Structure 1
Amino acid sequence: MDASTATPVRRLGRAAALALAAALAATACSSGGGSADNVTKSEPPRQGAIDINPKPVDQLKDGGEVKFPLYQWITQWNPYQVDGRYGDAVEIMRALEPNLFTTDESGTFKPVTDYLLEAKVTSTSPQVVTYKLNPKAKWSDGKPLGYLDFKADWEATGGKKDGYNIADSAGYELISGVEQGADPTEVKVTFSEPYADWQNLFRPLIPAAGIATADDFNKGWVEKIPITAGALKVGTADKTAQALTLVPDPNWWGAKPKADKITFRVMSQSATTQAFLNNEIDFAAAGTATAYGQLKDAKEAVIRTASPWDEVHISFGGGGALADQKVRQALGKALDRSALIKIANNGVPVEFKPLGNHIFMPNQTGYQDNSGEWAKFDLAAAKKALDEAGWKDAGSGQPRTKDGQSLTLHWVLNDATPQAQLDLATAAQAMWLAAGVKVELDKVPSNDFFTKYVNPGKFDVASWRNTDSFPLSSSLGNFRLPQGDNVFGNFSKLGTPEIDGLLKKAAGTIDPVEAAKLYNQADARIWELGHTVELYQRPTVVAARKGLANYGAFGLAGVDYAKVGWEK
């Protein structure tokens, strides 16, 4: 999830996007002024596009530092805990913990052989997956990876343990048993129901020793990472300086990382442009008109683009006036999405097109536009829905009233939100007022945006990005009904048993064509529910410093920080 442009969670590494993680409100969406007329538009990147300056590691220098921006300080490092799904955090954790599978540019899973020699379905009734671990793989406490780690991760995230505040139980709740196979390097995972996206589980694998109790699970990874098993480890984590460094782990059994140090420094997205120009970082977002205009001709910059799983949306809460589905539907109909998208797209070199699906991106097989009447700009229909909901017209420019209350809502915004996103919010505010809905824009500190507002669902309106909500079954966490205080990734807290049933059935359907039909049926219901108004798929447009290899715009591919470095 990313809130930055809308606010960020940056890339969540395939799985977490719920996250994966975090944030649009301040990052995702938009541009900051400038004219689109003087920018050459290109066709959107195609499926499978990747633009990372790929180089064999023997063509890279040994050593050196690579400097990246980080959009918020990471407090919770457990990627399975409800507050640990911020996209940057999950991506970094996959460099520090066993990432059993990565994805290539087409989104196809590939085993990471440093951890996993082989994994396959060895039985279909019931479904059994057998994992063959690399015998060299060990945790930083010296223990080998084994079935007890898989078992602990399953038990902690399966939703059946009291006190474990999990982010998402999708897939794990379908596991019925974890046991050792023929020897300590073999793990057998048995499912109670078929689960198509099993390769997305245990990514990353978390050590059993780190989550033995609910306190360990919820608090043991706050401001620290107690055990690692990666090519890199944390060098320094300076909260005061808001800087994190990763350095090679001398106990790593695989190929030595190329860089001596990878540094992440917290800064607002708007600050990354000047930081790049000042040589303070080697990578910066260039997806706004202002940033692109300043970076495209910079001496040391190379613009890279790709088409990831990255969506920009506006979410509605489920409290107060918004508890009424008709009111939420009216808000969707009152928005002119094409006008909002033009604000976001102004001056950016890749065209933003309307997104008609919550689950599929336009470049994924199975995509169809299910938005129907719910995202069609129709002010008269919006007003009619509000009339039917009992909200009386109070005249032009005035909020409607009902039972002595005015129809006034609050849009929570990250205070680091770029100007273009503010322009988008202001435009939406005017559209809603035309229908008789007053929406006030409330800025909150960027470090509080998710933890104090979005995650606990304390908003009427909010905007962020869900990034890398992939594979498809991970969408369940974003739209499933909450269980008690656990909202999973559904911060709006809106859902229905029908949507849950369709998403769960789709996740257990091995035939991708049949699964796509079920996902699209669920998506149509999500639109009708008035849960979220999708705006557009956000292309990756970034600036990388010349000579930086194996990093840039990844599309659907995973990151390997051990291969990131500088050309000779």
Structure 2
Amino acid sequence: MSEFVIRKSLEPAYTQLALNGSEGPLADERVRRAVARALDRKELARIVLRPLGLPAEPVGSHLALAGQAAYADNSGALGEQDAAEARALLADAGWVPGGPVTEQKKTEKAAGSKGRKGDSAEDGRPGAGGTYVLGDDDKPAGVGRAPAQDPKDHARKQEQQAGTRPGAFTDEQAARNLDGRQYAGRGGLPGAYAPKGTAAPAGAAAGVLAKDGKPLTLRFVVPSGAGSESLRLVADRIAQMLRRIGVRTDVTKVSDESYFKDHIASGQYDLALYSWPASAFPATDARPIYAKPVPAADGSLSIEQNYTRVGTDQVDQLFDQALSTLNEDEERSLVRKADARIWAAAGSIPLYQRPQLAAARIGLANTGAFGFQTPVYEDMGFLKKGAKPSASPSKSR
């Protein structure tokens, strides 16, 4: 590579986190906003751009990029990263940490459900049937799991290992005796035990969030191709950020060929990363990307290019007004207002401009990574012997 130089720029396109608002937890705007408020967009931009020596600034607009006349940072309509606010939004939507998770019935499990029956409610024991027990069944596919045991044998084994005296209280018996009077003289402390399924109090450390007996888990699809390492790295970091507020993610790698067609376009995802190019005419080109989906004549949902399925009447009206005006300043103002409403709806979260890298032979001028600049082909060529190339390819002669 000694004969080549890497020319770097920011591509006129940005990578976003898409949130599918058509179904599931993300159909609730409060949950989408919570996910967005949990993200440190500056950190995500640094992960991709700083190693390349490029400015690591997050994108502040869906409809224009820095340097374009219509650009304005409207991310304030959503708010900055705030984990406490994110947890509050989830709690307002009914997702609480430590909440009980209802297990699937045996018939559902036999039909192929991933749910498992934890504490059976059929034996009538207090606290049974309503608690999600984290353990072997939470391991990923392919990881070894302990064989099933008879509950009685398992209890006797625990007593033998712990040296429990005959007649001593088990945790379940302790749960029945909340005032602790039966522990007098047995070495137990009153109030030291709580019934199974007791929810964590407000302010407790983030754990599994649950609502209506279901855990809050989001499907995160990422491409598996060799050129998508940065996307997978960003996805892993996003998963870590969401874990801090109690949101679990199921990251699934899919082939590049099926990534967009079989998952993004068909709506088979909750979270996904993909890019949109910048446009010189955002009022025209961006409208189908953010238009509110409407029912089609055949009963299906017409989404145009809005793969997040999130839209509002107000955004559509602002785009329509921007298209109808002949005043450029008014058009830009309307586009910026539409962008602010798109941020507030939290269907897509712009993260960073894509890096643009090009290898060029040393001495070849005016070619490489152009960014927003338009290539001038008649100016491209080899430098005269002994001439030094300019730092900017566009200024070399």
TM-score, structure 1 as length reference: 0.45
Between the aligned partners of 2:77 and 2:83, the Cα distance in structure 1 is 12
Between the aligned partners of 2:207 and 2:20, the Cα distance in structure 1 is 22
* Paired residue secondary structure (1:367): coil
Q: CA deviation at 1:566?
A: 7.4
Unaligned runs of 5+ in 2: 99-199, 384-397
Q: CA deviation at 1:559?
A: 6.6
* Paired residue secondary structure (2:286): helix
Between the aligned partners of 1:414 and 1:564, the Cα distance in structure 2 is 38
- Residue 508 in 1 paired to residue 324 in 2? yes
Q: CA deviation at 1:543?
A: 1.8
Match of 2:40 in 1: 336
Which of 347, 371, 392 lines up with 2:75 in the alignment?
371
Q: Which has the higher strand share?
A: 1
Match of 2:8 in 1: 305
Between the aligned partners of 1:390 and 1:397, the Cα distance in structure 2 is 15
- Residue 541 in 1 paired to residue 364 in 2? no
* Paired residue secondary structure (2:256): coil
Match of 1:357 in 2: 61
Match of 2:237 in 1: 427
Between the aligned partners of 1:300 and 1:324, the Cα distance in structure 2 is 55
Distance 1:376 1:519, change over 3 A: same
- Residue 320 in 1 paired to residue 9 in 2? no
Which of 471, 474, 491 lines up with 2:307 in the alignment?
491
Between the aligned partners of 1:506 and 1:402, the Cα distance in structure 2 is 41
Q: CA deviation at 1:357?
A: 0.9
Distance 1:308 1:445, change over 3 A: closer
Distance 1:549 1:459, change over 3 A: farther
CA contact (8 A) 1:375 1:533 kept: no
CA contact (8 A) 2:63 2:278 kept: no
- Residue 529 in 1 paired to residue 345 in 2? yes
CA contact (8 A) 2:64 2:278 kept: no
Between the aligned partners of 1:556 and 1:342, the Cα distance in structure 2 is 21
What letter matches 1:349 in structure 2? Answer: G
Distance 1:538 1:389, change over 3 A: same
**RMSD over aligned Cα, in angstroms?**
2.5
Q: CA deviation at 1:546?
A: 4.7
Q: CA deviation at 1:410?
A: 0.9
- Residue 482 in 1 paired to residue 185 in 2? no
Distance 1:523 1:373, change over 3 A: closer
- Corresponding pairs, count: 270
- Once the two structures are superposed, residues 194-239 of structure 1 have per-residue CA deviations (whole angstroms, 9 ceiling, x without a partner) of xxxxxxxxxxxxxxxxxxxxxxxxxxxxxxxxxxxxxxxxxxxxxx
Between the aligned partners of 1:508 and 1:300, the Cα distance in structure 2 is 53
Which of 399, 403, 412 lines up with 2:221 in the alignment?
412
Distance 1:508 1:547, change over 3 A: farther
Distance 1:343 1:305, change over 3 A: closer
What letter matches 2:229 in structure 1? Answer: Q
Distance 1:409 1:304, change over 3 A: same
CA contact (8 A) 1:550 1:563 kept: no
CA contact (8 A) 1:306 1:554 kept: yes
Distance 1:370 1:363, change over 3 A: same
Between the aligned partners of 1:373 and 1:514, the Cα distance in structure 2 is 20
Q: CA deviation at 1:550?
A: 6.7
- Residue 465 in 1 paired to residue 265 in 2? no
Between the aligned partners of 1:336 and 1:392, the Cα distance in structure 2 is 23
Match of 2:248 in 1: 438
Which of 455, 465, 472 lines up with 2:265 in the alignment?
455
Distance 1:341 1:405, change over 3 A: same
Q: CA deviation at 1:547?
A: 6.7
CA contact (8 A) 1:358 1:534 kept: yes
How many percent of aligned residue pairs carry the same amino acid? 31
- Of stretches 491-500 and 418-427 in structure 1, the one that deviates more from structure 2 is 418-427
* Paired residue secondary structure (1:347): helix
- Once the two structures are superposed, residues 264-308 of structure 1 have per-residue CA deviations (whole angstroms, 9 ceiling, x without a partner) of xxxxxxxxxxxxxxxxxxxxxxxxxxxxxxxxxx22323223444
- Once the two structures are superposed, residues 369-396 of structure 1 have per-residue CA deviations (whole angstroms, 9 ceiling, x without a partner) of 1111624110000000000001111264
CA contact (8 A) 1:479 1:494 kept: yes
* Paired residue secondary structure (2:16): strand
What letter matches 2:245 in structure 1? Answer: A
What letter matches 1:477 in structure 2? Answer: P
Larger Rg: 2
What letter matches 1:359 in structure 2? Answer: L
Please list, as runs of the form range in 1=range in 2, the aligned pairs for 1:149-168 lying within 5 A after superposition: none
- Residue 388 in 1 paired to residue 92 in 2? yes
CA contact (8 A) 1:300 1:546 kept: yes
